[in-house]
Chains A and B, each alone.
Chain A
Amino acid sequence: MSASDVAISRKITAERALTGKRIDVTGLAFQVVLLLCLLACLFFIVALVGTVLVEGIGVFEDRGTDFLSSNLSRISDRAGVSQAIFGSFALALIVVLVAFPLGVATAVYLEEYAADNVLTRIVRLNIRNLAGVPSVVYGLLGLAVFVQILGTNRGAGGGLTGGKTILSGGLTLAILVLPIVIITASEAIRAVPQSLREGGYGLGATKWEVTRSLVLPNSFAGILTGVVLSLSRAIGETAPLIIVGAFFGTFFTTGSAGFFDKITDSTYTALPQVIFQWTQEAQSEFNTQLAAAAIIVLLGVTLLCNMAAVLLRNRYEKKW
């Protein structure tokens, strides 16, 4: 019997003596119930992924990448998601271009510049509340402001945004995810230790110089995590797009228009919108197989984004 074995057997004896040789049955049962709750959550993920794969994988087996490169069609064998992928990509681009600078600037203002006064407190409270506003409501805001007011003639075209265009949709989604970008960027900036800033001021740097060359580089990973998370949220949102008038139907063509023409064209769609459209069709080729195949594409993109965000955070999380 080695020394460690002796130690273990002594520990067991001591435990028996203290617990009176009884196993804590209620405690064990409690732990099992809690574990079951967790497993139930995980089970739903497995069932979800399983359902989607079983229904959707056939489309990829039959047609390969043809599904990704085909346009929308009324014929189920030819229907594809290329326009939807383009739409989602363009929307994501607009979201990043608008929400990233605006969100980071707001976060810098709140964390570095703002004095602790009533205005700042109102802005903070307001951002937390904006994060909880349902996405359909942002859709209504987009419909009223970007589609109707900025795109004149009740959304029929013209104006700054051209009515029901990718531009209007992208701006709506950008405003939707703005609070997420601000909150995560604020947290990242707050995690930069004060001593670093004081070091910068000690060298005679101004506030902007400290922010630009010390605070932002050191909080960059955290800010990026927030942007990636908000991007995956934006790509998956359906309800606001429905409200601001993404195309609803089984078929449209944009011809060979250039990128900027397409952005201001009044016919556009995106992955979640196509999934929604297809689920509303009567034929099971559309409402089950094709919808599931499109979901595989959408899930692939959003899960990759989320995983990238989680990995980024774990990899670059600094311990000061």
Chain B
Amino acid sequence: MAIGSAAVDLSGSKGRQRRERTVKTIFLAAGISSLVISIAIVFTLLGKSIEFLTNVGLDRLWTDPHHWAPRVGRFDLATVFMGSLLITGVAMLIATPLGLGAAVYLAEYANPRVRRVLKPILEILAGIPSIVIGFFAVQWIGPEFVQRISSQADAFSLCAAGVGVGVLVSPLVASVSEDAMRAVPNSLREASYGMGAKKMTTVVRVVLPAAISGMVAALMLAASRAIGETMVVALAAGAAGDANYTADVFEVGTTVTAAMASLAVGTDQVATAGGEGAGQAVNSLFFLGLLLFLVTFLLNVVGDLFVRRIENRY
């Protein structure tokens, strides 16, 4: 008698096994769906971008003088990328001190009761829709903040939009870097106090170096958010549709994202107007989208590597 037939089969009824396999397949399909989304994004962007590049001469992408005016076929990348660079720069200038300062205070100085109240408030600020920040940038940041710093500033300016984006990403910086600092084990702080170090010395020389990769990650993620931010810029920077090249943050301008939004607002008119240049204005959306995707992808991957470094260390 074979041993196999003597052993009791414990795997349950056929129906139960079948259900188990069905459920597993469903879950696997769900898991794969996220990959499908990524592939769809890349293929959509690539396909239309290739269509765009084959129909538009490369000289159109770097016009002289620099000028972004998609409806007349001037797709100057320098204009929109300079705008994105300036906005991100201003935003990080605001978000780095505010976000990191708030994080250090919450993680190291605030007593637990204060932290329990303030952390949720910061998280709520992180949830304010960007269109609202855009309105705030137009109504308050522009006139009350930017025009007080520089009397030459326009009512709408890259600076106002940049400060708005900075306000938008500060809570993100604060939240991620606070998590990093709280992940630093207390034994490090106690060792520092044991050596007779003051609180500030402990924070600056022990905690911050230990949490540095988390803080860098926070800044990378914030920069990626700032580059991808659309509505604040579309509302507050003043020249979303057609823009001249500018390197002055106090002038009006546009960014990659705001240019896309304003192109899309006019898609109907462009599409019905017909003609070769019109179709390409819509396709230029996808080309800008591809470039934007690549830049943010790079920042996110590098930021992610830093986050994983703290996760692995302690």
Contacts and interface: CB of A to CB of B under 8 A. Distances in A.
B30 A134 contact: no
Contacts of A140: 41, 44-45, 260, 285-286, 289
Interface residues of A, number: 90
A242 interface: yes
Nearest to B301: A129
Given A30-B200, A136-B260, A310-B124, A179 B34 contact: yes
B101 A33 contact: yes
A133 B28 contact: no
Contact of A38 (B101, B260, B303): B101
Interface string B185-229: 000000000000011100110000000000000000100110111
Interface stretch (A61-69, A71-79, A290-298): A290-298
A51 B136 contact: yes
A45 interface: yes
B23 A208 contact: yes
A24 interface: yes
B135 A275 contact: yes
Interface string A115-137: 00000101101111110111111
The majority secondary structure among interface residues of chain A is: helix
A113 B265 contact: no
B230 A134 contact: yes
A229 B200 contact: no
A223 interface: no
Nearest to B240: A280
B124 A307 contact: yes
B125 interface: yes
Interface stretch (B53-61, B65-73, B103-111, B243-251): B103-111
Contact of B221 (A48, A132, A276): A132
B135 A113 contact: no
A24 B257 CA distance: 48
B12 A206 contact: yes
Contacts of A109: 27-28, 30-31
Interface stretch (A9-17, A192-200, A230-238, A255-263): A230-238
Nearest to B37: A175
B33 A129 contact: no
B165 interface: no
Find the residue from A24, A132, A229 having the highest chain B CB count within 10 A. Answer: A132
A41 B125 contact: yes
A139 interface: yes
B16 interface: yes
A34 B104 contact: yes
Interface in A87-106: 102, 105-106
B133 interface: yes
B292 interface: yes
A40 B99 CA distance: 10
A38 B121 contact: no
Contacts of A134: 225, 227-230, 257, 292-293, 296
A57 interface: no
Interface in A20-61: 24, 26-27, 30-31, 33-38, 40-42, 44-45, 47-48, 51-52, 55
Contact of A41 (B28, B98, B203, B225): B98
A250 interface: no
Nearest to B43: A144
A114 interface: yes
Nearest to B139: A51
Given A175-B37, A178-B34, 20 more contacts: A30-B203, A31-B200, A34-B104, A41-B122, A41-B171, A41-B174, A45-B121, A48-B133, A48-B136, A129-B300, A130-B37, A134-B227, A134-B228, A141-B37, A154-B271, A182-B34, A208-B19, A243-B261, A299-B128, A305-B127
